[in-house]
Structure 1
């Protein structure tokens, strides 16, 4: 059974790259979002198995969106992608069951994080 994935990043090229990497490994992309507000709305609509989310985004950060998503589904699987210089990374310590991969990353790192 294909796993459903939502991609959340404010950079369109990153979303395209993630879609390519994931579809190559037979994941189904059910939604994409460019900010945290869209991520919450699309999570509610599509209920993905895994959400890959940037941390620094306009309107609502990935951390804030993850908190709202976890209120809907406490077991939501979220993998954060970060350039490693986010002021919000410290806040992530309070979010359970998190995975963070640093940009730039190799596809194998993403696949490994998704397999956990």
Structure 2
């Protein structure tokens, strides 16, 4: 079972993602409400995959992504954001994100994306 860390400032979104993932055979090992907390939990929990919101207080998802990649260059981070702007997508991918999912997303799309990364 793949272990996932969810990083999103919106509690309802963390709960929605957690529910979808657990229903589809993923183990949610932790949650964080901002990039700083996400980095700490990444170090502590060593998840297989991180889902990361881009727009968060204190530290953006892209800054947290860069910090996680400095710790673990092979980290599997999938960016989730309502801001499906090309600039953000490019910056996330260039910073090491394995994929990008635009909110609102369909459950099947999120699961397919995470399964592909889990099996790569």
- Fold in common (TM above 0.5): yes
Contact kept in structure 2, 1:6 and 1:52, CA below 8 Å: yes
CA 1:87–1:56 in structure 2 vs 1: closer, same or farther (change >3 Å)?
farther
Q: State the secondary structure of the residue aligned to 1:60.
A: coil
Q: State the secondary structure of the residue aligned to 1:5.
A: strand
* Shift, 1:95, TM fit: 1.6
- Runs of 4+ aligned residues of structure 1 deviating over 6 Å after TM superposition are none
Contact kept in structure 1, 2:4 and 2:51, CA below 8 Å: yes
TM-score (norm 1): 0.92
1:95 aligns with 2:95: yes
Contact kept in structure 2, 1:55 and 1:86, CA below 8 Å: no
What RMSD, in angstroms, separates the aligned Cα atoms of the two structures?
A: 1.6
* Shift, 1:94, TM fit: 2.1
Contact kept in structure 1, 2:65 and 2:96, CA below 8 Å: no
1-structure distance, mates of 2:37, 2:86: 21
Q: Which runs of 5+ in 2 are unaligned?
A: none
Q: State the secondary structure of the residue aligned to 1:115.
A: helix
1-structure distance, mates of 2:69, 2:93: 14
Q: State the secondary structure of the residue aligned to 1:104.
A: coil
Query: What number of residue pairs does the alignment pair up?
Result: 115
CA 1:30–1:93 in structure 2 vs 1: closer, same or farther (change >3 Å)?
closer
1-structure distance, mates of 2:84, 2:18: 24
Q: Deviations over 1:18-74 (max 9, x none)?
A: 110000012111110000000000000000000001000000000000100001110
Q: State the secondary structure of the residue aligned to 1:92.
A: helix
Contact kept in structure 1, 2:69 and 2:96, CA below 8 Å: no
